[in-house]
């Protein structure tokens, strides 16, 4: 992993201040600005990726394969683990702090304080990407699809990795309603929309038919991968759809087997020999996949967990009931969305788990490492939990990223 650069405290504070504007779904404000400054169209192919899970895996696979084929890649992804600069990558490397801040200056001058946190970062990303002049642009949707800020860009291929329950207060309470929101990234003149065995809802087919975009169902790869297998399969199918414009040889496609993404199946071996698995699983579907995998390959002695209180926590923890391990719930500094430790521990105990609360992420690790029965530790629950525990771990001496999530 190439460590991202930190932007200045002044810029970090200003951008963080936009969080208070909340989440605003809809394209009107950003689209007007983006069109005025010619940021909605690119001369190179654009791929947009939506889905409940697997977006990061899909984007990373696309990026790695195109870069290996010699193309200049530009990627936007979210959220970030350590630094805001992680959200924009050029040729697999995070944008420099200088380039980020230069784009921020332009974005702030043209936005005139009209945008939310995610809208501003989207505008900033598009400005930076235009300046970079890539061969291919890969955009990861933040929330939903139809009303997501990334959807202001005219894309050539859309990908919907899967449909499952998450963010129901914004996207709807049925799979068809959620699918309908994500299907909003399918637009006229796209070459194709790639779907998977996990995203074949009727509303997606109806939207594709309405705008005359062919649906391409991605066959599941026969080989094992380090990342979400369904998402990797979708990336491969999308690359084939664009072969006429961006030719990729077979040997470059083959690297899909070994592509990795920090925070997804990442194992860090500590100085005392313990292995800590970090996984950004934050909804029932991704947690079910994670539980299935670790039952065979990892079997943790301890689980360090917390999650946003608006998540379906009961169904996030249910797949882990067969494990006999101790749970530690750390208090995480955040914006008020994170669960209170006492109430989460109470819920875990009611469901039959051995759970304890601690005041800080550092305390969670100290407690685990002081145990004589802590050779394997699992950390999951979302970006904020992984971020805080990685910071707490601080000095990483040995790192392997060898777990396969399928």
Q: pLDDT tens-digit profile of 24-60?
A: 877 889 999 999 999 999 999 999 999 999 999 999 9
The model's confidence at residue 403, banded by pLDDT at 50, 70 and 90, is: very low
Mean pLDDT of 227-242: 97
The model's confidence at residue 393, banded by pLDDT at 50, 70 and 90, is: confident
Per-residue pLDDT at 186? 98
Residues 57 and 91 in one domain: yes
More confident residue, 89 or 164: 89
Residue 81 to residue 385: CA distance in whole angstroms: 10
In a domain, 139, yes or no: yes
Quickly list H helices, 44-143. 55-68, 97-111, 117-132
Within 10 Å of residue 131's Cβ, how many Cβ atoms? Answer: 12
What range defines the domain where residue 306 resides?
264-400
The last residue of one of the domains, among 198, 233, 257, is: 257
Nearest to 146 by CA among 119, 179, 120, 191: 179
pTM across the whole model: 0.93
Residues 197 and 151 in one domain: yes
Per-residue pLDDT at 335? 64
Residues 221 and 112 in one domain: yes
Residues 227 and 297 in one domain: no
In a domain, 390, yes or no: yes
Share of the chain above pLDDT 90, in %: 80
Which CATH number covers residue 181?
3.40.1190.10
In a domain, 2, yes or no: no
Cβ atoms 259, 227 nearer than 8 A: yes
Residues 297 and 174 in one domain: no
In a domain, 4, yes or no: no
Q: pLDDT tens-digit profile of 181-226?
A: 999 999 999 999 999 999 889 999 999 999 999 999 999 999 999 8
The model's confidence at residue 400, banded by pLDDT at 50, 70 and 90, is: very low
Count structural domains, the chain. 2
Residues 233 and 299 in one domain: no
Cβ atoms 277, 376 nearer than 8 A: yes
Give the DSSP per-residue string, 33-55.
Answer: HHHHTT-S--SS-EEEEE-SS-H
Residues 242 and 279 in one domain: no
pLDDT value at 115 more than 70:
yes
């Amino acid at each position: 992993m190439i460590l991202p650069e930190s932007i200045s405290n002044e810029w970090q504070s200003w951008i963080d201040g936009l969080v208070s504007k909340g989440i605003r779904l809809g394209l009107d404000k950003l689209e007007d600005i983006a069109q005025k400054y010619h940021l909605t169209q690119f001369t190179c192919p654009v791929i947009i990726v939506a889905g409940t899970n697997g977006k990061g895996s899909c984007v990373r696979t696309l990026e790695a394969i195109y870069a290996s084929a010699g193309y200049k890649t530009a990627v936007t992804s979210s959220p970030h683990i350590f630094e805001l600069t992680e959200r924009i990558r050029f040729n697999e490397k995070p944008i420099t702090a200088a380039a980020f801040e230069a784009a921020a200056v332009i974005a702030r001058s043209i936005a005139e304080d009209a945008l939310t946190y995610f809208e501003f970062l989207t505008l900033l990303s598009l400005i930076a990407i235009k300046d970079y002049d890539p061969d291919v642009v890969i955009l990861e949707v933040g929330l939903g699809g139809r009303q997501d800020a990334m959807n202001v860009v005219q894309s050539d291929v859309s990908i919907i990795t899967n449909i499952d329950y998450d963010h129901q207060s914004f996207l709807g309470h049925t799979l068809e309603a959620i699918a309908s929101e994500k299907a909003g990234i399918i637009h006229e003149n796209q070459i194709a929309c790639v779907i998977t065995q996990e995203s074949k809802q009727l509303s997606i087919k109806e939207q594709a038919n309405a705008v005359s975009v062919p649906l391409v169902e991605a066959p599941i790869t026969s080989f094992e991968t380090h990342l979400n297998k369904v998402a990797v399969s979708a990336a491969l199918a999308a690359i084939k759809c664009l072969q006429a414009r961006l030719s990729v040889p077979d040997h470059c496609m083959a690297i899909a087997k070994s592509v990795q993404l920090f925070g997804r199946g990442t194992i860090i071996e500590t100085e005392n020999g313990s292995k800590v698995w970090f996984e950004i699983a934050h909804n029932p579907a991704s947690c079910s996949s994670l539980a299935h995998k670790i039952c065979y390959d990892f079997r943790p002695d301890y689980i360090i967990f917390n999650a946003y209180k608006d998540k379906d926590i009961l169904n996030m923890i249910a797949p882990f009931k067969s494990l006999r391990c101790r749970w530690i719930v750390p208090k995480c500094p955040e914006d008020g969305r994170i669960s209170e430790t006492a109430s989460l521990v109470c819920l875990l105990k009611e469901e039959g788990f051995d759970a304890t609360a601690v005041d800080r992420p550092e305390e969670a690790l100290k407690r685990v490492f002081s145990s004589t029965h802590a050779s394997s530790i699992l950390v999951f629950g979302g970006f904020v939990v992984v971020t805080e525990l990685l910071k707490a771990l601080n000095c990483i001496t040995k790192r392997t990223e060898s777990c396969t999530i399928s």
